[in-house]
Amino acid sequence: MIKAVIFDWAGTTVDFGSRAPMGAFVKLFEQNGISISIDEARIPMGMNKWDHIEALLQMPQIQDQWKTLHHKLPAKADIDRLLEEFVPMNKLALIENSDMIPGVVQVVQQLEFDGIQIGSTTGYVRELMDVLIPIAAKNGYRPEICVCSGETEKGRPSPQMMKRCAEFFNIRDPEKIIKVDDTLPGIEEGKNFGSWTVGVALSGNALGFSLDELNQLPEEKQSLLKQQARQKILEMNPDFVIDSVADLLPIIKKINQMMASNLHPNAIG
């Protein structure tokens, strides 16, 4: 039986469309004389933010702009400085994009009623989560643990943050834990720990639209975008794909049935 669910934050439980980090990354690079698109900013999503900045700087079209400006490749000190600039920008974006994703609070309440423990991991540093956690708590979402970027030796897709959660809950069997995430590094974090993984297609990074933006689109366009987002998550090879956390409860029931039949994570055809 499942004993705990570990959720990601942006795009999974809060901030429909995972909007907060994207605008901050675009603004960060713009202020440093470099043009990047929202789509480019999304590619490394799920990594800790230092690694995210490094990954962006390794993209040829971005690195070329950097070399034109600075006549050298970006160094570790450059990434450190960019991260220092990024954090206050992201704080403001967090406050503006802190709404709970519909259905999350109700699902978590049911899980807690069923005796399932709730944890979380995130690519955000603690300074940012110190802003977001109290807002989420006021809105009814209070995971028992939040492991932040930089609090383990390695970040995602390493399983170290998952391990920290499991130790907190005193759960020794990774297969009794589900990781729910909307990004490849977050899903791989769960897979590398040996847990069940559930990918979120509609509310997160794969689609990237706010709920208002999505609802304003014609139904035919919505359907196409949802199909494309679902395909992106399927390619990450989680055990299950759902539109949002609102759809999680039947999946947990199915996983419990599979475990009773001696089936294991990552073994679904």
57 and 87 Cβ atoms separated by less than 8 Å: no
Pairwise CA distance, residues 234 & 242, whole Å? 10
Catalytic residue among 8, 15, 239, 247: 8
Give rounded-to-5 percent helix, strand, coil for the chain: 55, 10, 35
Known active-site residue 8: yes
Which is it for the CA torsion 78, 9, 195, 236, positive or negative? negative
Q: How far is CA 89 from CA 63, 67, 93, in A?
A: 22, 24, 7
Q: Taking Cα atoms as reference points, which of 194, 161, 196, 188 lies closest to residue 1?
A: 196
182 is in an annotated binding site: yes
48 and 156 Cβ atoms separated by less than 8 Å: yes
Pairwise CA distance, residues 20 & 98, whole Å? 8
Known active-site residue 80: no
Catalytic residue among 15, 49, 239, 247: 49
Backbone torsions φ then ψ of 9, nearest 5 degrees: -105, -90
Pairwise CA distance, residues 85 & 89, whole Å? 7
Q: Would you please indicate which residues are annotated as catalytic (active-site) residues?
A: 8, 49
As annotated, the binding site for Mg(2+) includes 8, 10, 182
Binding residues: 8, 10, 182
